[in-house]
């Protein structure tokens, strides 16, 4: 049983859906166009882009069982869902606000939903089908859903058959299809009946079809041809539930609510007569304690670095005189050699001298053939050349003393 209601009046509209049966309410754009000013040109009013906003009166969202979809601003909106027994006897007022995207004007209507109880709720045998070639708004159309229920009834042969719920595949974690080849997002349709499942529906449970499903192959279903003309059903995703055999597991989790926060009254801000709090003590504790610790550490470090130093005079008093004289003589000799090296003429290195003259003649070697190489040092320096030795000044002072003794 499907209840399809069209908005036709300006006053509040009362509807009476049944618990456990799919409820569909269509928001027609044509109905709301009469409340907005028309285009200056006659015949263009049908192009008005209109969108809808639906919410429970006094709250920003809808009840948990009620959903809404509108594909584009030029298509009708649809409210759909399946109320449960806990909503029976409670009037649900849905505020419907229409927005004209051309004139930015709005129109508001109220929809009063009075949920009725049914004697055979819920139906004991429920089957959920996944239809791959349908979108949810296409499946909600009364003629399309009627054709599907007719095909299911022809296969199942129940006395009573109702559509329980419709869910888009995107709400089950499905991905948005590519905009090619007119691909659809898919839709789950749950139906309920009062008789056992037919043999055709149970064919998917046999081992051969289960193996084909595990290999991502289509199972062999004898009654698939009765749906294939209009509905492409994924038989590997069919779900058959016998609620008479379902064991209810009680847990410590709280029962899920309706998703609407309870009314706890208006917000009462704190009184202005509150006493001000003095934070001076907290400031001292926060600032003084780290400062005191830092000062103690700084004092200890300063005493160790400044007051514990021995100094040059104390070091010289503890050093033997002969060691001081030796150290002083070495320093004087080093300074004298450095000053002498600054005054001598710098000559070109041997590696930069030409090997052959411009005339092609071979330049004689620096040393003759009978030169004794046993006394030659391993590394020949520039100071061995005559031109360089003539420029060396005679040793004086401490250097002369060491020179005479052959040191």
Whole-angstrom distance, CA of residue 187 vs CA of residue 141: 13
Strand order in the sheet with 23-27: 3-6, 23-27, 77-81, 66-69
Backbone angles phi, psi at 48, to 5 degrees: -65, 125
In this predicted model, which residue has the larger pLDDT, 36 or 149? Answer: 149
How far, in whole angstroms, is CA 41 from its chain's centroid? 49
Helix (H, G, I), strand (E, B), or coil: what is residue 77? strand
What mean pLDDT is reported for the chain? Answer: 78
Nearest CA to 167 among 142, 149, 152, 186? 186
pTM of the entire predicted model: 0.56
Indicate whether 45 pLDDT > 80. no
What pLDDT sits at residue 52? 93
Instruction: Delimit the domains of the chain by residue range.
Output: 3-114, 125-242
DSSP collapsed to 3 states, 127-161: EEEEECCCCHHHHCCHHHHHHHHHHHHHHHCCCCE
Those residues whose C-beta lies under 8 Å from the C-beta of residue 79, and which sit 6 or more positions away, are 23, 24, 25, 26, 27, 54, 66, 67, 68, 94, 111
**Side-chain half-sphere of 28: how many Cα atoms within 13 Å?**
11
Grade residue 371 by pLDDT with cuts at 50, 70 and 90: very low
Instruction: Give the range with max mean pLDDT: 97-101, 253-257, 310-314.
Output: 97-101
**Average pLDDT, integer, range 38-59:** 77
Q: What is the CATH number of domain 3-114?
A: 2.60.40.10
Instruction: Please name every residue paired with 240 in a beta bridge, in sequence order, or none if there are none.
Output: 127
Is it the case that residue 357 has pLDDT exceeding 90?
no
Q: pLDDT tier at 216 (50, 70, 90 boundaries)? A: confident
Give SS3 for 259. coil
> Beta-carbon neighbour count of residue 376 at 10 Å?
11
């Amino acid at each position: 049983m499907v209840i399809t209601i069209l908005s036709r009046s300006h006053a509040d509209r009362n509807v009476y859906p049944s618990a456990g049966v799919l409820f569909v309410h269509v928001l027609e754009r044509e109905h709301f166009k009469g409340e907005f000013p028309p285009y200056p040109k006659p015949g263009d009013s049908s192009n008005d882009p209109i969108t809808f906003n639906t919410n429970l009166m006094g709250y920003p969202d809808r009840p948990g069982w009620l959903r809404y979809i509108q594909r584009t601003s030029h298509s009708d909106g649809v409210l759909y869902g399946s109320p449960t027994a806990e909503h029976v006897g409670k009037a649900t007022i849905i505020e419907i606000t229409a927005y004209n995207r051309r004139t930015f004007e709005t129109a508001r209507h109220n929809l009063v939903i009075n949920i009725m109880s049914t004697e055979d709720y819920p139906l004991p045998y429920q089957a959920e089908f996944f239809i791959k070639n349908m979108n949810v708004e296409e499946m909600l159309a009364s003629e399309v859903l009627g054709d599907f229920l007719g095909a299911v009834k022809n296969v199942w042969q129940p006395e009573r058959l109702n559509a329980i719920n419709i869910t888009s595949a995107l709400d089950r974690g499905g991905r948005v299809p590519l905009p090619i080849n007119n691909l659809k997002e898919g839709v789950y349709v749950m139906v309920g009946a009062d008789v056992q499942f037919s043999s055709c529906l149970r064919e998917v449970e046999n081992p051969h079809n289960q193996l084909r499903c595990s290999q991502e192959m289509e199972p062999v279903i004898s009654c698939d041809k009765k749906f294939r003309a209009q509905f492409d059903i994924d038989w590997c995703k069919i779900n058959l539930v016998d609620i008479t055999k379902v064991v209810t597991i009680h847990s410590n989790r709280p029962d899920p609510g309706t998703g609407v926060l309870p009314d706890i009254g208006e917000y009462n801000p704190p009184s202005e007569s509150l006493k001000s709090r003095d934070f001076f003590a907290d400031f001292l504790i926060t600032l003084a304690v780290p400062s005191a610790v830092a000062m103690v550490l700084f004092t200890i470090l300063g005493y160790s670095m400044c007051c514990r130093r021995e100094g040059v005079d104390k070091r010289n008093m503890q050093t033997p005189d002969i060691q001081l004289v030796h150290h002083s003589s070495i320093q004087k000799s080093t300074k004298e050699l450095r000053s002498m090296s600054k005054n001598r003429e710098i000559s070109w290195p041997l590696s930069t001298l030409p090997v052959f003259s411009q005339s092609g003649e071979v330049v004689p070697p620096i040393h003759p053939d009978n030169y004794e190489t046993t006394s030659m040092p391993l590394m020949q320096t520039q100071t061995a050349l005559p031109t360089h030795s003539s420029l060396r000044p005679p040793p004086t002072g401490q250097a002369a003393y060491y020179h005479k003794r052959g040191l």
